[in-house]
Amino acid sequence: MDALLTLPQFSGFLVAAVLVTLAPGPDNLMVLGLGMARGRRAGVAFGLGCAAGCLSHTALAALGISALIAASPLAFTLLKVVGGLYLVWLGWQAIRQARPLGAVAATPAAPEAAGRLFRRGLLANAVNPKVILFFLAFLPQFVDAGRGGAGWQIAQLGLVFTLETALIFGAIGWFAGRLGQWLGRRPRLGAWLDRLAGGIFIALGLRLLATR
């Protein structure tokens, strides 16, 4: 349990995690749409639920990666190859489907309890198999296997990812109205954000494939 993240390890991961969280995706667009439709309270509650769902993926990644490293270096290598290819595929899909950001519908809706919205966001994220695969592919890239405690390092990385996601999603939910107006005046921005996200995924995937 002494393998604490180093400052370069932490800072490098934080920059990548923030870029990934800001990139257009189902979760942050759902937070934005819900905040616009039902107000900042609903957007923040749902966004924090989505962020909390990352903890379950962190636990799976930490336990699974540790077991693979201990039991079979070959299996760990295979997982890295599959994860790298998956990230490259995600990047290609984001670039291929890049499109202007359409307006998010904001229709009046009945108030809903914040706790219920939080649970909805938590469940939506926790049961998403694509997010599970993403965590298995993304977190190990920032583990320094030579320092030992790979599972503990992944747990720390996952906690950092959860906290920064909570801050960003909470901010998106809080400022949903203004964000929606700003993006609505810049429809082409969505396509460039898609391409940026695609480039990030491809670069991370190639890095994972090249790592020995």
Q: What are the pLDDT digits (tens) for 141-170?
A: 888 877 878 889 999 999 999 999 999 999
Calpha distance 108→201 (Å, rounded): 36
Mean confidence (pLDDT) of the chain = 78
Token representation of residue 64: 């699974």
Q: How far is CA 33 from the centre of its chain?
A: 18
Q: Is the pLDDT of residue 130 over 80?
A: no
Q: With cut-offs at 50, 70 and 90, classify the pLDDT of residue 21.
A: confident
**Residue among 151, 170, 134, 157 nearest 11 (CA):** 157
Which amino acid would we find at residue 103? A
The residue-averaged pLDDT of 63-68 equals: 68
Q: Is the pLDDT of residue 119 over 60?
A: yes
Question: Which secondary structure element, helix H or strand E, spans residue 185, and what is its range?
Answer: none
Q: Is this prediction's pTM over 0.75?
A: no
Tokens 């790592």, located at residue: 211
